[in-house]
């Protein structure tokens, strides 16, 4: 009889323990708690390097300002960064809005996705780039110029002559990425093949008083805005000048880089000119160009950006400001800075055929160019 009582007592304890465990899991306080991506600082881009459930506040960029009355959240597009066509949910799934946060599941595969918050009418209030890659490495540039990422924004590797090193493209002053080249093949008829995504992209629109505004750009993150004739910018004005506050030396609410990083300084005092040790806006370079046919290794050039490891800058081409077409992939690389000259923005440019480097070439701000993020000092 005593053994039976002991057995009954042990079973009762086991049942209570199981019940407590089930209750804990139903509350979701431990096992299913999302990993908070914004610990320390919010941004328009979040790096995700592993499979799991993640969250971030529905606020504008690096500010504490709410995006508004969010009704739902959804994935706008996903991509592996190549011509391989993904299926919906291959990278990001189960996106929802709860208690002021965007929550989603990441598959652990490498690629990019954009998540949008919408109001009750379906209007996009804000959107965020989810960059699924291993953690980008820091590279210290020469002459105490600064610290840069080892890869382009949106690239899932820094491997020379690999299409996954190309990344995404941006119009000056916009936080949202556009599709880059999808294969290492020279363009036909001046047009390059674009990466495959899960969404159909809208046609480009011409900048005017309605489309050439920050409000329109925010609510249409997949729409490329063709330049207006007044200032070669996607931002519309009736004058030659433009709005210079979108990107600035201090990280702005429209900066596309992850927390702790920003679009770099350019011009004759910018990070590239300092690292190269020059003040000229044009020079022909040797070395580093024979790494392959799709970029430059700036650790091997006669004027390096940094030494001791590969500093890979691919020729991703650009999206033309007057057409919305991607061109010159494998021929030219253009990298935005925050620095302006008049109504233009400065880029670091490399031209393959004459092995020319232009540390601060002025470029129409409506162009879609690459971004290489600089660490915030």
pLDDT along the chain (377 residues), means of 10: 40 37 36 87 98 98 98 98 96 98 98 98 98 98 98 97 96 97 78 91 97 97 95 87 87 97 97 95 84 85 93 95 93 95 93 92 97 96
358 phi/psi in degrees, rounded to 5? -120, 100
Q: What is the pLDDT of residue 189?
A: 64
Helix runs in the chain, H state only: 2-27, 214-219, 271-276
8 A C-beta contact, residue 179 and residue 194: yes
**Given this model, what pLDDT does residue 26 score?**
35
> CA torsion sign, 194 to 200 to 206 to 209?
negative
Q: How far is the C-alpha of 160 from the C-alpha of 60, rounded, in Å?
A: 34
Task: Tell me what pLDDT residue 31 has.
Answer: 53
Reference 114, options 68, 184, 67, 179; nearest CA is 179
In whole angstroms, what separates CA 185 from the centre of its chain?
A: 23
DSSP 313-338: EE--BEE-TTT--EE-TTTEEEEEEE
What domains does the chain contain, in order, with CATH numbers?
35-132 (2.60.40)
Six token digits for residue 4: 């039976």
Please compute Rg for the chain using Cα positions: 24
């Amino acid at each position: 009889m005593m053994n039976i009582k002991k057995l009954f007592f042990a079973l009762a304890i086991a049942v209570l323990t199981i019940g407590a465990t089930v209750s804990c899991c139903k509350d979701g306080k431990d096992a299913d708690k999302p990993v908070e991506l914004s610990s320390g600082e919010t941004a328009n881009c979040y790096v995700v390097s592993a499979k799991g459930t993640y969250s971030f506040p529905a606020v504008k960029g690096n500010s504490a300002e709410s995006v508004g009355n969010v009704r739902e959240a959804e994935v706008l597009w996903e991509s592996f960064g190549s011509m391989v066509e993904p299926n919906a949910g291959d990278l990001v799934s189960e996106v929802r809005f709860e208690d002021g946060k965007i929550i989603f599941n990441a598959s652990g595969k490498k690629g990019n996705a954009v998540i949008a918050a919408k109001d009750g009418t379906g209007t996009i209030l804000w959107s965020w780039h989810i960059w699924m890659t291993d953690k980008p490495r820091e590279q210290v540039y020469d002459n105490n110029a600064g610290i840069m990422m080892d890869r382009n924004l949106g690239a899932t590797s820094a491997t020379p002559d690999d299409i996954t090193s190309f990344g995404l493209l941006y119009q000056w002053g916009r936080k949202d990425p556009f599709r880059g080249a999808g294969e290492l093949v020279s363009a036909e008829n001046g047009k390059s093949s674009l990466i495959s995504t899960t969404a159909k992209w809208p046609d480009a629109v011409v900048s005017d008083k309605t489309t050439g505004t920050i409000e329109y750009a925010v609510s249409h993150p997949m729409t490329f805005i063709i330049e207006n004739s007044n200032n070669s910018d996607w931002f519309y004005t009736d004058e030659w000048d433009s709005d210079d506050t979108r990107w600035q030396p201090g990280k702005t609410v429209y900066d596309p880089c992850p927390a702790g990083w920003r679009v770099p300084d350019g011009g004759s005092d910018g990070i590239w000119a300092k690292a190269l040790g020059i003040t000229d806006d044009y020079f022909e370079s040797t070395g580093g160009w024979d790494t392959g046919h799709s970029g430059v290794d700036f650790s091997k050039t006669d004027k390096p950006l940094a030494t001791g490891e590969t500093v890979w800058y691919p020729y991703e081409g650009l999206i033309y400001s007057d057409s919305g077409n991607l061109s010159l992939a494998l021929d030219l690389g253009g990298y935005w800075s925050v620095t302006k000259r008049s109504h233009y923005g400065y880029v670091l440019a490399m031209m393959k055929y004459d092995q020319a480097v232009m540390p601060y070439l002025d470029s129409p701000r409506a162009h879609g160019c690459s971004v290489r993020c600089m660490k915030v000092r």
